[in-house]
Structures are given as C-alpha cells and as structure tokens.
C-alpha cells in the first residue's frame, strides 16, 4: 500500500516543484495523480487514497498545525480506508493505494517535531529540470530489483533519528518556544539551574507575558517542544518529566 513517508520539496516560487510531481507517474498512469485534495472533506480524502496513486499536498504551508498533527498524521499511516463509493449506500473497506508528496515555498512548515519523521524534507538548491521526462522503464526496473532483493521498505531506528534531526530546521517555532527562550536557557548542571516541569514553566511564562498569549497551548504539546530543544536536559522525576533550566536575569 502507499508509502508512510512523504517527500516534502521546499524552495522559492517558480522552481518547478509541481510540474516535477506531475511527471513522476508515466503517461499510462497519469490518471492516478491529483494535486487537488481538500483535507477538510474527509470522504473525498479517503476516496482519493483508495483510487489515486500519487497525491500532491501542494502549498503544504497552508495546512494548519492542528490538521498536520491530527488528521494528516493519521491518514499517512493508514493501510486501508473506509468510505462509500460514489453514489454508494454503504461504507466499505478499501486498500489504500495512494502515496503522498508535498511542496511548499515556506521553510518553517512542520508543526509537530515528534511527527516530522513522516516527512522527508528537502530544500532545493536550484530549479528542477523538467525539460525531459524521467526514465520510467529504468526506475521500474530498479524498483523491481529492490523488491526481489528484499530491500527494507521501512526506516530503522537510526535512520528515523537522522530524519527527525534533519527536519528540525524546517519545524515551526511556536509563541511558547519564543517566550521560553526569552525567559529561560538550558542549564549545564543543577548548581546553576533548576528542574521544572513543562506545566511549571508554562505557568511561569503566563504570569510573565500574560495568559491570553499562551491560552491555546497545552502543557503536553509544550513538553513535546521542550524535548526537542537543543541542549535542554530532560529527566523523568517522580512528579513527571522535568527540564533543567536557568532563568534569565531581566
């Protein structure tokens, strides 16, 4: 069934990202490509995942963080989908065929550091040459050879870590993170810092900058962000996960 990893092409406008995606399928399979997916229409999404071969999430930066972390993250991993046929009366179970690819003109587009392992973000260094079509026969031969040689179809733990690390530069910085960096910094040891939970840090920031600016961020989501922050030590205490931080003098 469709891949659980999504190539994400990042570049400035006009570098042929979308034409390149449209050329990935040979003419005989061009019916299986779409760049018109409305994530707000779940029935349409499931139908296209069962019918299409390649779905381009064009303008990926326009997908909200909530959708990225919820619905999109879920459907990328599905092996089958439940939906009605056009004009059908009953919900049926269909194998998921479509793979995803995505394009964007923005650099900071990944909303969930923990879910970024599903994306293979690539920042282009120049326009893609689309003057000639890919050698489909050779690509198919290479794919069949990999299949017969039982080449792994999944990333191992070390490869997953490398993907997450590579994607960090493409992750959005939330308001809570910016306020955190304004008021705290990672501490080297307990002599210069203190252990604080995500909840305690968040409450401190609300008192400093105002509740209204942080009312939509949960302690759980904030904790996930802190876990992926550079040089910030995390430890599991009896009262929950805590972070070794130093308050900045103001």
Give the C-alpha distances (Å, rounded to integers) separating 147 from 78, 94, 141, 150.
21, 24, 10, 5
- What pLDDT is recorded for position 243? 92
Task: Give the CA angle between residues 194, 246, 65 to the nearest 5°.
Answer: 100
- Compute the average pLDDT of residues 128-138: 95
What would you measure as the largest C-alpha separation in the chain, in angstroms?
68
pLDDT band at 6 (very low <50, low <70, confident <90, very high): very high
6-36 per-residue burial string, b: 16 or more CB within 10 A, e: under 16: bbbbbbeeebbbbebbbbbbeeeeeebbbee
Quote the CA–CA distance of 23 and 130 in Å, as a whole number: 8
pLDDT of 178 strictly over 80: yes
pLDDT of 119 strictly over 70: yes
pLDDT band at 91 (very low <50, low <70, confident <90, very high): confident
Query: First vs last Cα of the chain: how many Å apart?
Result: 55
pLDDT of 113 strictly over 80: no
- Of 217 and 35, which is predicted with more confidence? 35
- What pLDDT is recorded for position 248? 87
- What pLDDT is recorded for position 73? 87
Quote the CA–CA distance of 75 and 96 in Å, as a whole number: 10
User: How much is the mean pLDDT over the chain?
Assistant: 89
6, 117 in Cβ contact below 8 A?
no
DSSP 110: B
Q: What's the chain's length in residues?
A: 250
- Of 88 and 104, which is predicted with more confidence? 104
**Percentage of the chain surpassing pLDDT 90?**
52
- What pLDDT is recorded for position 1? 63
Query: pLDDT of 219-234, one tens digit each?
Result: 888 888 888 787 889 9
pTM above 0.75, yes or no: yes
Quote the CA–CA distance of 152 and 49 in Å, as a whole number: 23
């Amino acid at each position: 069934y469709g891949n659980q990893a999504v190539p994400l092409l990042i570049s400035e406008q006009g570098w042929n990202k979308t034409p390149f995606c449209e050329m990935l399928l040979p003419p005989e399979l061009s019916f299986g490509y779409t760049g018109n997916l409305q994530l707000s229409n779940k029935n349409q999404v499931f139908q296209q995942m069962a019918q299409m071969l390649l779905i381009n999430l064009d303008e990926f930066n326009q997908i909200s963080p909530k959708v990225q972390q919820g619905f999109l993250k879920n459907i990328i991993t599905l092996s089958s989908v439940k939906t009605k046929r056009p004009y059908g009366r009953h919900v049926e179970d269909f194998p998921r065929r479509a793979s995803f690819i995505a394009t964007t003109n923005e650099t900071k587009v990944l909303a969930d550091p923990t879910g970024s392992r599903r994306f293979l973000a690539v920042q282009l260094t120049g326009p893609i040459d689309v003057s000639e079509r890919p050698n489909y026969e050779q690509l198919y031969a290479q794919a069949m050879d990999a299949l017969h040689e039982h080449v792994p179809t999944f990333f191992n733990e070390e490869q997953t870590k490398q993907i997450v690390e590579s994607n960090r530069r493409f992750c959005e910085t939330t308001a809570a993170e910016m306020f955190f960096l304004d008021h705290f910094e990672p501490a080297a040891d307990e002599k210069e810092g203190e252990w604080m939970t995500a909840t305690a840090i968040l409450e401190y920031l609300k008192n400093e900058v105002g509740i209204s600016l942080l009312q939509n961020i949960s302690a759980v989501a904030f904790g996930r962000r802190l876990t992926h922050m550079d040089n910030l030590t995390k430890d599991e205490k009896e009262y929950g996960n805590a972070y070794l931080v130093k308050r900045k003098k103001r």
